[in-house]
Amino acid sequence: MKSWNDRLSTPSINGIRPSPRTIGDVVEGQPMRVPTARQVHAFIRSIPEGMDMNIRALRTALAIEHGAEMTCPVTIGYHLRTVAEAANEDLECGMALGDVAPFWRVVDASTPTTRKLSFGAAFVAVQSKREGLER
């Protein structure tokens, strides 16, 4: 089985495509950004300490950055989990907290992705509180 860091590094197709169907706030046919896990990782790493961003704002920012109207909500969900689990793997291998992608600036206890994390929501809550993120 691939590690989460392997999944993070796996090349994937990205770009702007018309949405194949209406899902969430994306309307069928709307120009939709489909990012790679690495692109999501890089964007999360760019969020300054003490700042948070909800998933909708993350999706909008990624879309605007690449000339689309919206970012695929399904792809973002997959990639957020990959980024978080890869960061957890790095921490378990001894990497410093400041050197991993600060996914807790995007996900919180109520985010569906958080419920799927192998290490649970407590870590997310501790890191959010440590940075003074109000949610």
pLDDT per position as a tens digit, 57-76:
999 999 998 889 899 999 99
Q: What is the mean pLDDT of residues 109-126?
A: 91
pLDDT at 95 over 90: yes
pLDDT tens digit sequence for 5-59: 999 998 888 889 999 999 888 889 999 999 999 999 999 999 999 999 999 999 9
Q: What is the pLDDT of residues 74-87, one digit of tens each?
A: 999 999 999 999 99
Classify residue 53 as exposed, middle or buried by CB count within 10 Å of its CB (0-12, 13-18, 19+): middle
Are 91 and 43 within 8 A, CB to CB? no
Q: Total structural domains in the chain?
A: 1
pTM score: 0.92
Say whether pLDDT at 117 is over 90. Answer: yes
Angstrom CA distances, 32 to 15, 64, 74, stand at: 8, 10, 11
CB 58 within 8 A of CB 76: yes
Assigned domain for 12 exists: yes
**Which DSSP category does 99 fall into?**
G
22 lies in a domain? Answer: yes
Residue 92 is part of which domain span?
A: 4-130
How many residues are given for the chain?
135
Query: What are 17's two structure tokens?
Result: 């495509």
**How high is the pLDDT of residue 13?**
80
Is residue 135 domain-resident?
no
What's the confidence (pLDDT) of residue 25?
A: 87
Answer whether residue 91 is part of any domain: yes
Q: Phi and psi for 26 in degrees, rounded to 5?
A: -105, 130
Q: Which are the contacts of 43, defined by CB distance < 8 A and separation ≥ 6?
A: 58, 61, 62, 65
